[in-house]
Structure 1
């Protein structure tokens, strides 16, 4: 288990640089969302995100990462994470698409993901279940973010995510699988850093959270069992039972005054309002 001494702590100025990266990434992902229309390919989505990052003079932190060949991961339907964008992967109306991307500004990283329906959700029970699944993942992400406090523990985040998933499943009358083995992470001068932030855990456990940390919170949920397998491409992770999957993520800064959601245009104000939390400004 990582200790605080293994975890990179940022100065306020460095966190402000990360906020700049997060704002840029938010704009880039908006472009990716707009490009994800029926008949477009996942490569078209990738190109739209890449163009925004490139035009801002920033760098993708996904492209070339351990050999990854694109600017975003584009995962469709039963693909959980790390789907490789391809020209031949054409999106159809009602497909479930998760887009995960990142960028680097002045040496500092941002990482964020969203899940959407291409066009309108299917007008059937499956479509309704997928809409609920996206909402459950987003609720769990915000619950995890709201649990981040200076002096708390990483397990507080994990427990909050897990409790939110269970609460949504009960409220929706559905079974949601919470993927194990993949989760959030530290972020800063590298994209993936200590500590690992699992989506399952116990309050009061794990490394202590202190001002200067930056963490990416990213639940991954399925409409079936939580078990996954990796495809032969060495990247794409799919559900073993073929059930639909979603993935959402934000990067968050911890300061002595509170938190700021680096990759949310409003700093997390709307997502944190139900928890009575006002984010700090890092602009």
Structure 2
């Protein structure tokens, strides 16, 4: 870990909760629209208009030059897909990654949606990715080490034959989009020394591939990341606040999949 992770004071926790709660409401708002026939640009417009109409800011718009208000990644796209005129079709799996800035505080999450009827292979990948996220969340407690997250996800996913993406990881979040600690989703030497203390806020966002863990970045747009073997990829993400009682999931939705959900 470079630098020092931020430990938020207890009076700041409510600001983290408010930002994340709005982000979760945005996910629920767009949920009914993620279906065959809609373009990813139309989903982006829904995200943008809902956010701005509530007086908030889409964090990805303009971030390091990213041109849209959310990331939408379909099938073999691992992350950072740019919304465009691509039409969602029956059988796709699509990850929608949204981040909101609410009065200077960030909330961040993503979900992989099943578009209509999907293959058994796709459904199982989505299920295992979802389960791996909650397995990791349920593993940690105050003063747990970051490596416990990587071990939980990696051991579970690889035993079932999935590749765990290594090039991208979770991150600290709060007053800024990306801060320490970095949260790898596989065991990284040194991360056993990085402790998760009360007041730390971070994301866990495993990306699992149906084949190799290796990825390729699109040289044309500089953002879109695909699996190296063009096999399917899925991701789920939540923003987590570590409290004295344990991890608090700040971005749980009212209408989305809850812990234990079966796809």
Number of residue pairs aligned between Structure 1 and Structure 2: 258
Partner SS, residue 192 of structure 2: coil
TM alignment of 1:108-147, pairs within 5 A: 108-121=105-118, 127-147=119-139
Q: Contact 1:154–1:205 (CA<8 Å) still a contact in 2? A: yes
Matched, 1:185 2:182: no
Deviation at residue 233 of structure 1 after TM alignment? 0.4
- Structure 1 match to 2:223: 235
* Correspondent of 1:212 among 199, 224, 237: 199
Per the TM alignment, residue 157 of structure 1 is displaced from its structure 2 partner at its CA by 1.2
Shift of 1:158: 1.2
Alignment root-mean-square deviation, CA = 2.1
Residues 177-211 of structure 1 show CA distances to partners (whole Å, capped at 9, x for unaligned) of: 11111111111111111111111116981311111
C-alpha distance in 1 between matches for 2:27 and 2:193? 32
| Deviation digits for residues 152-188 of structure 1 (CA, Å, limit 9, x no counterpart) | 1111111111122134x1xxxxx31111111111111
The offset of 1:56, in angstroms, is: 1.7
Match of 1:70 in 2: 68
Determine the C-alpha separation between the residues in 1 that align with 2:54 and 2:246: 29
Q: TM-score, normalised by structure 1?
A: 0.86
Structure 2: give runs of 5+ residues left out of the alignment. Answer: none
The TM-score, its normalising length taken from structure 2, stands at 0.92
Counterpart in the other structure of 1:248: 236
Contact in 2 for aligned 1:74/1:82 (Cα 8 Å) = yes
Structure 1 residue ranges without an equivalent (≥5): 122-126, 170-174, 274-283
CA distance in 1, matches of 2:121, 2:260: 25
Tell me the distance in 1 between the aligned counterparts of 2:11 and 2:53: 24
Secondary structure of 1:252 counterpart = strand
State the Cα deviation string for residues 78-136 of structure 1 (Å, max 9, x = none): 100000001x2111111111110100112111110010121222xxxxx1011000010
Equivalent residues of 1:156, 1:202 under 8 A apart = no
Checking the alignment, whether the CA contact within 8 Å between 1:149 and 1:259 is kept in structure 2 is yes
Aligned to 1:61: 59
> What corresponds to 1:90 in structure 2?
87
1:31-74 CA distance string (max 9 Å, x none)? 23222221110011111122221222111111111011111100
Q: Contact (CA 8 Å) 2:27, 2:253: kept in 1 or not?
A: no
* Structure 2 Cα separation of the partners of residues 269 and 58 of structure 1: 25
Q: CA deviation at 1:265?
A: 3.5
Shift in alpha-carbon separation, 1:256–1:269, aligned structure 2, 3 A: farther
Q: Distance in 2 between matches of 1:272 and 1:242?
A: 29
CA distance in 2, matches of 1:186, 1:179: 18
Q: Distance in 1 between matches of 2:54 and 2:8?
A: 24
Q: CA deviation at 1:230?
A: 0.5
* 1:28/1:50 contact within 8 Å kept: no
* Residue from 22, 39, 42 that aligns with 2:40: 42
Match of 2:245 in 1: 257
Quote the residue 1:221 is aligned against: 208
Q: In 2, Cα distance between the equivalents of 1:62 and 1:12? A: 27
Q: Show structure 1 runs of 4+ deviating over 6 A.
A: none
CA–CA distance in 1 between the matches of 2:44 and 2:27? 10
